[in-house]
Chain A
């Protein structure tokens, strides 16, 4: 094998690919050839690096230089300067907000510093399409250990002792779940990997599959040995084409190496995996409806018990875990339960992957130890609020998570703590909101999503969410009534109690938590017909500040409703009758002459 002196790890996760990283790799190869460097420098396409806001990203080893926001045009200069002459190009490096000097090394960048990678241990370090690179990083050694020196009981004990809990939402202890399935007596048992990831804006699972598909396969195979299954399914949403393709390739490679199929690693153990592409409804991620969907039935949840461990796919004992849960398994087997359980809090061990989005400077995918505070996540990793606005709330746990206010930012997060404050861990979505966000509007937004995704089987969820939506819409339109808040709380309790699955069980969180922490905003809408954040259209007016307006007429040109008129160099006039409150004038005005009231 040729010795390369430099490895260019170019991110080929979904985010960077949509920003043309594949095209960049072609230009890179071409330029390297031009300088006859192709035998000295290797280009590696990796999975998601995580710092998606800065993509396309390339990390250059051995010096770990982090390049960001690359374009094809940057490449010729970069190749000549850095890769040929050894002078890293500063203007392509990351400069933290408010600072002047770039930070060359990836590990010195705030976004990466506080992270602790377990599930994402190989992210950006391997080519996910090459099984040998996974093996180089101890890949499949946990499986070898499980097969040659462990029994189903000792595997389950290790997972139990590690304290690993399901990363798909509910946080059920993984080892105990395996034990139920292992004890169930049946000819045939199944393993399922839940890669449905229906939370809008979440991409933890996609990223794991894209950057390290073998970690999931290895975890599943160890799980299969522990519970006695011979077949596994990966249920992955069709909207993830790159992940589907990488997983398929990974399965093929594992088969060729005898790491899947019959006589795995020369032992008598056999295990096969198939990929099933889901059709994209949010409720498909719920385990019983996922199983229904796998069997070809409509994805409707059913009452539990029986739990899948007793009667799952085709009525057989089935163990279903989330992608991230599976990806943790090999590392726990390799490094031991006591290593893993040192990370995290009393009740929640290990790390958690979050997708950090919304109004923070650094958006992307992060993996942090359980017990880290929200403040650290938002300010140290996220770099603070965009445009240095004021923080208002962070919503955790996906569409049915709660909104957590500023005063709770020092909360060390784990499953229990998040539930206590009216939110959930969920699968790890985090949306940061700033002062310009209306909390009533936010609650309405999520209820709107959930009412659309409710499968309709339980009346309380179907009708309750619809009613909630109507009430919230009324409030946003200034038609709220005095007792609406109480009504919402009552509806919330009814939906929670009367629904079979956790969709209904958690759907009221966005509403209840915003009432809990931001009731004054509800009251402003209801009593004063005011939207304090200036968001709800029916309750706001755009006005022109005649003192500040310079008469540049930019707003006149951009107003889609022709509601603004005026002469050059004179303050313009805004016709409230014609105004559709789209806010374009506010966006384009350079003189802060448009006011919202």
Chain B
């Protein structure tokens, strides 16, 4: 293994932190995929895989991806919730991998809610 120079420490640290940031519980965005039985049946695992791939592809370390149980709206699964730091969570429904890519690029990375895919009902109305 190569002997390190002081600047190499910073490189290792940056590379590793992309992974370990998760343990610090902070991140600019948190994406929660609803993985109840209904969600999984509707394809939530594919959605999860797609998001993880996007996070890696975009090389961003500030996105935390988690799963949660059924959100009580089984007919609209797969679903996910995007929560940017300091902003209200937004639920997206009837997801496909294509929609996920759009949501990731516009909302997660750039902070613009993708209204057409978002759940708009009652107090959760977003537009």
Contacts and interface: CB of A to CB of B under 8 A. Distances in A.
Interface stretch (A10-18, A255-263, A320-328, A588-596): A255-263
B58 to A, nearest CB: 10
Interface in A51-87: 61-64, 83-87
B69 A87 contact: yes
Given A256-B1, A257-B3, A258-B3, A125 B23 contact: yes
Contacts of B10: 141
B37 A85 contact: yes
Interface stretch (B11-19, B86-94, B106-114): B11-19
Contacts of B55: 3
Nearest to B18: A1
Contacts of A42: 19
A144 B37 CA distance: 51
B28 interface: no
B4 A86 contact: no
Contacts of B18: 1, 3
Interface in B31-58: 32-37, 39-40, 48-49, 52, 55-56
Contact of B68 (A86, A133, A136): A86
A135 B16 contact: yes
A87 B10 CA distance: 37
A4 B19 contact: yes
B105 interface: no
Given A62-B64, A84-B40, A257 B35 contact: no
Nearest to B33: A86
Max chain A CB contacts within 10 Å: which of B6, B10, B68? B6
Interface string A319-356: 00000000000000000000000000000000000000
A85 B67 contact: yes
A135 B9 contact: yes
A576 interface: no
Contacts of B1: 256-257
B9 A144 contact: yes
Given A136-B17, A266-B5, A4 B22 contact: yes
A139 B49 CA distance: 32
Contact of A86 (B6, B19, B35, B49): B35
Contacts of A62: 22-23, 25, 27, 30, 64, 66
A561 B4 CA distance: 69
A421 to B, nearest CB: 40
Interface in A111-170: 125-126, 132-133, 135-141, 144, 147-148
A7 interface: yes
A9 interface: yes
Contact of A132 (B12, B27, B69): B12
A40 B52 contact: yes
A157 to B, nearest CB: 22
B119 interface: no
A106 to B, nearest CB: 10
Contact of B6 (A87, A125, A138, A148): A148
A520 B53 CA distance: 72
Contacts of A125: 20, 23-24
Contacts of A148: 6
A86 B66 contact: yes
A5 B65 contact: yes
Given A1-B15, A85-B67, A7 B23 contact: yes
A145 to B, nearest CB: 8
B30 A136 contact: no
A140 B67 CA distance: 35
Given A1-B15, A62-B27, A265-B6, A6 B20 contact: no
Max chain B CB contacts within 10 Å: which of A125, A136, A137, A140? A136
A2 interface: yes
Contacts of A5: 22, 48, 52, 64-67
A138 B56 CA distance: 23
B46 to A, nearest CB: 12
B20 A133 contact: yes
A388 to B, nearest CB: 34
A62 to B, nearest CB: 5
Max chain A CB contacts within 10 Å: which of B23, B49, B69? B23
A582 B69 CA distance: 53
B15 to A, nearest CB: 7
Interface of B: 1-6, 9-10, 12-13, 15-20, 22-25, 27, 30, 32-37, 39-40, 48-49, 52, 55-56, 64-69
Interface of A: 1-7, 9, 40, 42, 61-64, 83-87, 125-126, 132-133, 135-141, 144, 147-148, 256-259, 263, 265-266
18 contacts: A1-B18, A5-B22, A5-B52, A7-B22, A42-B19, A62-B25, A62-B66, A85-B37, A86-B36, A86-B68, A132-B12, A136-B13, A136-B19, A136-B20, A137-B20, A141-B13, A257-B3, A259-B4
Given A7-B20, A63-B25, A137-B20, 16 more contacts: A62-B64, A84-B67, A85-B67, A86-B34, A86-B66, A86-B68, A125-B24, A132-B12, A135-B9, A136-B12, A138-B13, A139-B9, A256-B1, A258-B3, A265-B6, A265-B9
- A-B CB proximity, top 10 nearest: A258-B3, A86-B67, A136-B16, A86-B68, A87-B69, A5-B65, A144-B6, A256-B1, A3-B56, A61-B23
